[in-house]
Chain A
Amino acid sequence: MRLDLSRVAQGCRLGVLTGLGKSGQHSLEVPGCLLYTRCATVPHLTQDTLHTLRDLPSVTQVSVDSLAEHHEVLEEFKEGVRKFAGLHDTVLFCSLHDSANTSPAGHVTNKTVSVWGSGGRIELTVARFMAIQAAIQPDCYQSMADGETWQAGTSRKRVRKAVDRTLAHLDECLVLHQKTQELKQAEIFGVVEGGDIIEERLRSARETAKRPVGGFVLDGFHSAAMDQDVRAQLIKATSAELPQEKPRLVLGVGRPDDVISCVEAGVDLFESFFPFQVTERGCALSINYTIDPDPETAGTSTPTVLEFNGEMPAVKKLNSNGDENMMPFEMNLRDKRCVCIEGDTPQTHMRAYVHHLLVTNELLGGVLLMLHNMEHYLGFFKALREAIARDCLQNFKNRVLHCREGD
Chain B
Amino acid sequence: MNDSQVNRTSLFKMSAPIPSSTHECEDSMASVKAVSSAAPLALRIVAECPVSKARACTLTLPHCAVYTPVFMPVGTQGTLKGITVDQLEDLDCQICLGNTYHLGMRPGPELIEKANGLHGFMKWNRNLLTDSGGFQMVSLVELSEVTEEGVKFRSPYDGKEILLTPEQSIAIQNSLGSDIMMQLDDVVSSTVKGPRVEEAMHRSVRWLDRCIAANKNPDRQNLFAIIQGGLDAKLRKACLDEMTKRDVPGFAIGGLSGGEEKDDFWKMVTLSTDHLPREKPRYLMGVGYALDLVVCVALGCDMFDCVFPTRTARFGSALVPWGSLQLKQKQYARDFQPIDPDCQCPTCRRHSRAYLHALFKSDTAALHHITIHNISYQLALMRSVRQSIIEQRFPEFVKAFMKRMFASGEQYPSWAVEALQSVNIDVR
Contacts and interface: CB of A to CB of B under 8 A. Distances in A.
B84 A353 contact: no
Given A303-B123, A352-B111, A77 B362 contact: no
Given A46-B368, A76-B334, A364-B84, A85 B346 contact: no
Given A39-B362, A84-B354, A46 B369 contact: yes
Contacts of B362: 38-39, 41, 66, 118
Contact of A357 (B79, B355, B364): B79
B121 A73 contact: no
A118 B114 contact: no
B406 interface: no
B84 A359 contact: no
A117 B363 CA distance: 12
Contacts of A49: 84, 86-87, 368
Given A73-B333, A118-B361, A367 B82 contact: yes
B213 interface: no
Contacts of A85: 351, 355, 359
B361 A39 contact: yes
A186 B88 CA distance: 39
Interface string A356-369: 11011011101110
B156 to A, nearest CB: 12
A349 B123 CA distance: 10
Contact of A86 (B77, B87, B107, B350): B350
B77 A360 contact: yes
Contact of A366 (B78, B82, B346, B369): B82
Nearest to A362: B79
A45 interface: yes
Given A38-B362, A352-B111, A363 B334 contact: no
B352 interface: yes
A86 B346 CA distance: 11
B364 A43 contact: yes
A52 B81 contact: no
Contact of B350 (A39, A44, A47, A118): A47
Interface in A31-76: 38-39, 41-49, 52, 66, 69-70, 73, 76
Contacts of B384: none
Interface in B74-130: 77-84, 86-87, 90, 102, 106-107, 111, 114-116, 120-123
B355 to A, nearest CB: 6
A341 interface: yes
Nearest to B83: A364
A76 B346 CA distance: 25
A348 to B, nearest CB: 9
B422 to A, nearest CB: 41
Contacts of A43: 363-365
B103 to A, nearest CB: 9
B417 to A, nearest CB: 39
Contacts of A324: none
B82 A73 contact: no
B354 A52 contact: no
Tell which of A52, A70, A76 has the most Cβ of chain B within 10 Å.
A70
Contacts of B80: 364
Contacts of B65: none
Contacts of A47: 346, 350
A355 B111 CA distance: 12
B372 interface: yes
B121 A353 contact: yes
Interface in A80-105: 84-86
B350 A73 contact: no
Nearest to B84: A49
Contacts of B372: 46
Interface residues of A, number: 41
A296 interface: no
Contacts of B380: none
B365 A45 contact: yes
A108 to B, nearest CB: 24
Nearest to B358: A70
B309 to A, nearest CB: 15
A341 B106 CA distance: 15
Contacts of A39: 358-359, 361-363
Interface in B328-363: 333-334, 336, 346-347, 350-352, 354-355, 358-359, 361-363
A362 B359 CA distance: 19
B365 A46 contact: yes
B365 A41 contact: yes
Given A38-B362, A84-B355, A362-B77, A349 B115 contact: yes
Nearest to B87: A48
Nearest to B85: A364
A73 B358 contact: yes
Contacts of B358: 39, 70, 73
Nearest to B338: A86
B367 interface: yes
A344 interface: yes
B118 to A, nearest CB: 10
B337 to A, nearest CB: 12
A359 B111 CA distance: 15
Contacts of B106: 356, 359-360
Interface in B352-394: 352, 354-355, 358-359, 361-369, 372
B121 A344 contact: no
Given A46-B369, A356-B106, A363-B367, 15 more contacts: A41-B359, A43-B364, A43-B365, A44-B82, A49-B84, A52-B86, A73-B334, A349-B116, A349-B121, A352-B115, A353-B115, A356-B107, A364-B82, A367-B84, A367-B368
Closest 9 CB pairs of A and B: A363-B82, A39-B362, A118-B361, A86-B350, A364-B79, A349-B115, A86-B351, A356-B107, A41-B365
Interface of B: 77-84, 86-87, 90, 102, 106-107, 111, 114-116, 120-123, 333-334, 336, 346-347, 350-352, 354-355, 358-359, 361-369, 372
24 contacts: A39-B362, A39-B363, A41-B363, A43-B364, A45-B365, A46-B369, A46-B372, A48-B86, A49-B368, A84-B355, A85-B351, A85-B355, A85-B359, A117-B361, A349-B114, A352-B115, A352-B121, A353-B122, A353-B123, A355-B107, A363-B81, A364-B80, A364-B83, A368-B84
